[in-house]
Amino acid sequence: MLFHYMTQKSYSKGQGRPHTHQSLERGLRIIEAAAAIGNSATLSKIARETALPRSTAYHLLRALVELGYLVHDGNGRAYALAPRLFRLTGRTWTQAQLAEISIPFLDELSRLTGEGTSLAVMSERVVTIVAKRDCEGPVRVVQKVGATRPIHCTAVGKTLAAWLSEAELDAIINCISFERLTPKTITTPVAFRRELERVRASGFAIDNEEHMEGIRCMATPVREQSGEVCAALCIVGPKNRLSLRRLTELRKPLARVAADLSVRLGYGSIRGMAEKSPEEAGQRIALRDGRNISNRKEGDNDH
């Protein structure tokens, strides 16, 4: 339960009995119901769960949205917990919550790019795909939710490693075997650290056939309410469609959707990122000056 039953005693003149603030109690019940139901919490489900009249539930939901405790999906008519609650409680999004929240953003990114998309997170030094959307058409890169990815040779792995603290990064590098999976795989700690510097500077990481021959990926960080990187948003496709020139063109939709998802998770906008460190503003800088990803040419890679 996110909230305990709350009452406040008020004594009117000539009365000694405590009065329960009914609206407050009902509002907290609605928040608890939304948390229990998940992102499919529609008005009907919440009214049923709380045993409130539909009209009462509707007005309380509107108030909670206006106050920033819930968000409302206008298309699906579903309500969900807002980032404000996580800021108040100091809690972070779970992998399941990140996966569920990210689905419409992955759909939008696939629509904008025509390629497969995915969201990955790192936990205990393991990078895992938690949500994905395959592209339409006969030629596609099949991704599996729950699949793990190497850190040193994938776009999502590099992205999640790039914004770790020095101590965390050192610990991870000491655990990486730097196995060569293709002729382009990065195989030394020195080259990997140099690659992460490029990722932080540009705001984007690429996998130039380093994990699988014939496949290219590009990823960028997603942040949550504390400003920490909590996930990596990725575009993936065959190299004949994803030339490095086209990857450069796809930075804008990737950065835009990542920014929208970050806002949904409680972080600021791309404009707000300009007030952060140069590394955090990397996406915005890269979009502004239009420089090439990692200043690479087709086929280039460090080993």
Does residue 48 sit in the same domain as residue 151? no
Half-sphere exposure for 198 (CA within 13 Å, toward CB) = 20
One domain, residues 266 and 139: yes
Tens of pLDDT, residues 1-19: 444 333 333 334 444 444 4
Q: What mean pLDDT, rounded, does the chain reach?
A: 81
Are 63 and 100 part of one and the same domain?
no
CATH of residue 48's domain is 1.10.10.10
Q: Are 141 and 235 in contact (CB under 8 A)?
A: no
7 falls within a domain: no
In this structure, is residue 242 part of a structural domain?
yes
Q: Is 119 within the bounds of a domain?
A: yes
CA dihedral 124, 130, 136, 137 (to 10 degrees): 40
**Residue 57 and residue 99 share a domain:** no
- The answer to which of 16-30, 91-105, 244-258 has the lowest mean pLDDT is 16-30
Q: How far is CA 48 from CA 28, 53, 236, in A?
A: 15, 8, 42
Location of structure tokens 């990078």: 127
Distance (Å, whole) CA 234 – CA 239 = 15
Name beta bridge partners: 71: 80
Q: Provide the number of structural domains found in the chain.
A: 2
Check whether residue 82 and residue 230 sit in a common domain.
no
Q: Are 207 and 217 in contact (CB under 8 A)?
A: yes
| Structure confidence by residue, pLDDT tens digits, 203-230 | 999 999 999 999 999 999 999 988 999 9
- Are 77 and 210 contained in the same domain? no
Q: Does residue 5 belong to any structural domain of this protein? A: no
With respect to residue 217, please indicate whether it lies within any of the assigned structural domains.
yes
Whether residue 99 sits in one domain with residue 74: no
- The verdict on 73 and 203 lying in the same domain is no
- Tell me, yes or no, whether 132 lies in a domain: yes
The CA distance from 28 to 291, in Å, is 49
Given 89, 115, 140, which residue is the final one in a domain? Answer: 89
CATH number at residue 143: 3.30.450.40
Query: Which domain, by its residues, includes 48?
Result: 22-89
